Structure 1
Amino acid sequence: MIKHAHWKKRLAVALTGGLLMLNTVVALAAPVELTLEDSIAMALNSNPAIKMTDADRKSAELQINVAKGGHLPALTVAHSDNFFHSGADADTDYATTVSLGVNLYTGGKTESDISSAKIKLKVADSAVEQSKQKIKLDATNDYFTILQTKNSLKVSQEAVDQMEVHLKNVQAQYAVGTVAKSDVLRSEVELANNQQALIKAKNAYDLAVSNLNNVIGLPLDTDVIVKDELKHEKYASTLADSIQYALTHRPEALQADYSIDVAKEAVKSSKAGKLPTVSATAKTGWKDKDFPGADNNTWSIGLAATWTPFDSGVTNAKIKQSDSAVVKAIEQARQTKDTVQLDVRQAYLNMSEAEKRIDTTQVAVEKAEEDFKIAQVRYSAGVGTNTDVIDAQVALTTAKNNYIQAMYDFNTNKASLIKAMGVPVVEVKK
């Protein structure tokens, strides 16, 4: 009896634990509702590419301290233990030296190194921004792809529903002998085709959700509910204004100009090889035959100047190399800015083209809906054909998908334009 009660208690505990685990799984599987801003914020906070560029920026920031070290004093401590043996004689020698040195003049090399390091930090800053803009565009495109496939899925479901209703009407008329068997068969084939399209639409939607999850850092199988809709919000700026903005804000354009500045600083650094260097040193030391060598203290203070008036043309060659690097940087900057202008122009024109399609496809949807209704009525009245209804239904589905595609193209090309212009990313902390 006791064993029976104990068995019941263990069963109750197991069932309770199972229910708790089930509830946990259900809670974990709850859909995640996201706006476009939510998706962008999550992508910015989780994407590895941004973290890598942040690490590069930190390295560039520390390089400024490295360059500044050329102007700062350096303290060096040296100790040596020596054992001497000559014939039957052996001896030991312990020595400690402490020296303090500072470069007083380096011909401008240290100043150039510091300036170059500061410019490279600006390059790193723009690289971080560039990475953020790329991630924002990826998240935006994936979010709009979900909206597109979601609407296309709805259209495919409507097509299946419409053809099912039509098939029932055809079967009813065939049952009373008013239409031929071919009408039933053709309608069944069209329904099967629409069902195939629905399956593909569902798969495209699932893939779109997985792609967004991958960008924003969620498990790939997370069920996402997008809260926004495809909208048509006009873009106000002209093409000329957009290009001008890009040339002064796009990270790639800024980096190209910074590269010219870095190359010019390298020329200054190379020219420093023609100038003398001056340094100051202060030394003190101890040397003795007993460890740690604390007796026999000596000290000295001095200035040292070094100049190499002739180095077989090595410095001149380095200067010419640096000059060539400046020319290359200038040409690369021009090429980069041409590419920036082309990117802006392409995105702007693609956006404008899609915007024009929005109005025409919207009218086409209205006309197709009216045509489909008329075809249904005519067929029911016996004055229209089954082919008229099927063709009208196909035309309606095509018109709706064309409208969805136009809205998607407008929004994604607008996002590409914003990226091509280099509009800064405003982060929203979640």
Structure 2
Amino acid sequence: MRHRKYFYVIAIIALFACLFSKKQILLAQERESLTEALVLELAEENNPILAAEAERVNQAQARYLGSKSAQKPQLAASLTYQQLGEEPRYPVIPTGGEAIAGFEKTYRAALSLDYLLYSSGAVENSVRSQKLALEGAKAQETRVSQTVESNVLASYYNLQRARAKLAVAEDVLDLTKEHLKQVESFYHHGVVAKNEVLRIRVDVSEAELNRIKAANGVDVAWSALERAVGVSLHSQYALPDPDQSRPDVPIIEDPFTLALEIRPELQALDHAVQASLSLSKAAAAQSKPQVILQAESYVADNTFFPSEKDDWKISLTALWRFYDGGASQAKGQEAKATANEFLFRTEDLKKQINLEVSVAKLNLESASQRISVAADQVQSAEEDYRMALKRYSSQVGTNIDVLDARVALTNARTQLVDAIYDTHISKTELLYAVGLPLSTAEE
């Protein structure tokens, strides 16, 4: 009776375990597949660096709009209260008397207009400088976006690499356990010595340690990908199986010339040069004539709200600063020096771009060539391991032959995984070095 109760309890536990496992499998099947395109889309929506760069562009946009305000009339309303020690009076020469010149207590309401009609190019060049700075900020935003995409794709491919290596480690562990069973069977029948069993058990432990390391590598790669994207992914998405085929390699004719044409950093530096030159012109214009229109309509008296004195005035002023202590000249020289700095940085960046494109191109070619060699190596290693096992089963080969063949097979499979994902990453690096959108990596 007691055994029957135990049986029922075990059956119920097994039933719940099966239902839980089935539920987990269904949840895993319902999760969306995390592809390269999806991970880039998620990064675009959630990465804080992209949001920060967008705000940087907004700042440049605000500065540009603020600079344009100098080209428009400035309209203001004012209400003034003034208290004097005594009522203001002026002498009247012919009569020798005095005339009242205002109020002891004055309330004054006015509507004024200021409009810079002509600035000798100071305002126009200042606005052009801010517009170029805005274009430079947009170009820099594009490059930051490409950098984030590059990091995201590299993290994604490294995660898939780690999963592929985990599959290799698990397969090697299974092969080692199967071989252990064979060696133990030989030992029980007195065919082999105890030391061979011990040697394979050590090999099984080593394979288990390698599997644990590979599983930890997958978890670390998940964390790196989530950091690059900016949002949690592991519990919400399922990854497709690691790639086992040769990736498509993009064909880019003359990538060096193309990179010099489209790299956003070069465009940003060019905008910075032109913006600095415009600032220099704006500074030089500060010492040239300016024409200002001022208009005011006001009412004033000694009561609140004033209404007794109602008047208006219009002024047209031509201003020419012959000498400002060298301030405008210093600003012009500073702006020209800044432009020259950006020009030198541009030349250095061109050399850096040539290096980046060259390295990425060579890495891609090397990784692509390694795939064919590694695939042949895996095929040969698998056949060598099969033959080593067969010879050992027939007792015409040694246990060492099997162990060596399995190590060679493990290394061959690992190198194939590295070659495949090195090609993926090198392809991404080449597109990034040229300045092309990384979303074309899978096209």
Preserved CA contact (<8 Å) 2:46 2:231: no
Q: Distance in 1 between matches of 2:298 and 2:236?
A: 73
* Paired letter, 1:232: P
Preserved CA contact (<8 Å) 2:367 2:420: yes
Over residues 55-79 of structure 1, what are the superposed CA-to-partner deviations in whole Å (9 max), with x where a residue is unaligned? 2222222322211111110112222
Matched residue SS, 1:304? strand
- Measure how far apart 1:260 and its partner are: 0.9
Cα distance change, pair 42–116 in 1 and its aligned pair in 2 (3 A): same
1:166 corresponds to: 179
- Measure how far apart 1:140 and its partner are: 1.0
Preserved CA contact (<8 Å) 1:209 1:223: no
Cα distance change, pair 85–310 in 1 and its aligned pair in 2 (3 A): closer
Q: Distance in 2 between matches of 1:384 and 1:377?
A: 8
Q: Distance in 2 between matches of 1:312 and 1:80?
A: 35
Q: Distance in 2 between matches of 1:420 and 1:71?
A: 41
- Measure how far apart 1:276 and its partner are: 0.9
Matched residue SS, 1:107? coil
Over residues 278-311 of structure 1, what are the superposed CA-to-partner deviations in whole Å (9 max), with x where a residue is unaligned? 1111111111011122221121112101111223
Q: Distance in 1 between matches of 2:29 and 2:439?
A: 31
Matched residue SS, 1:233? coil
Residue 222 (structure 1) aligned with residue 241 (structure 2): no
5 Å matches for 1:207-218?
207-218=220-231
Over residues 242-262 of structure 1, what are the superposed CA-to-partner deviations in whole Å (9 max), with x where a residue is unaligned? 121111211111111111111
* Paired letter, 2:176: M
Matched residue SS, 1:297? strand
Preserved CA contact (<8 Å) 1:250 1:422: yes
| Mean Cα deviation higher: 290-299 or 393-402 | 290-299
Over residues 152-184 of structure 1, what are the superposed CA-to-partner deviations in whole Å (9 max), with x where a residue is unaligned? 111111101111111111111111222121111
Residue 296 (structure 1) aligned with residue 296 (structure 2): no
2:46 corresponds to: 46
* Paired letter, 1:301: I
Cα distance change, pair 156–338 in 1 and its aligned pair in 2 (3 A): same
Matched residue SS, 2:309? coil
5 Å matches for 1:9-88?
31-86=31-86
* Match for residue 206 of structure 1 among 207, 219, 223: 219
Cα distance change, pair 297–103 in 1 and its aligned pair in 2 (3 A): same
2:94 corresponds to: none
2:12 corresponds to: none
Residue 234 (structure 1) aligned with residue 246 (structure 2): no
2:11 corresponds to: none
2:142 corresponds to: 129
2:394 corresponds to: 381
5 Å matches for 1:109-188?
109-188=122-201
- Measure how far apart 1:217 and its partner are: 4.1
* Paired letter, 1:365: V
Residue 102 (structure 1) aligned with residue 115 (structure 2): yes
Q: State how many pairs are aligned.
A: 401
Q: Distance in 2 between matches of 1:197 and 1:78?
A: 80
1:254 corresponds to: 267
* Paired letter, 2:259: A
* Paired letter, 2:252: S
Residue 323 (structure 1) aligned with residue 336 (structure 2): yes
Preserved CA contact (<8 Å) 1:211 1:220: no
Q: Distance in 2 between matches of 1:220 and 1:310?
A: 65
Q: Structure 1 vs Structure 2: percent identity of aligned residues?
A: 28
Over residues 361-407 of structure 1, what are the superposed CA-to-partner deviations in whole Å (9 max), with x where a residue is unaligned? 11111111111011111111111110000010011000100110111
Q: Distance in 1 between matches of 2:306 and 2:367?
A: 85
- Measure how far apart 1:225 and its partner are: 2.0
Q: TM-score scaled by structure 1?
A: 0.88
Q: Distance in 2 between matches of 1:327 and 1:219?
A: 45
* Paired letter, 1:289: N
Q: TM-score scaled by structure 2?
A: 0.85
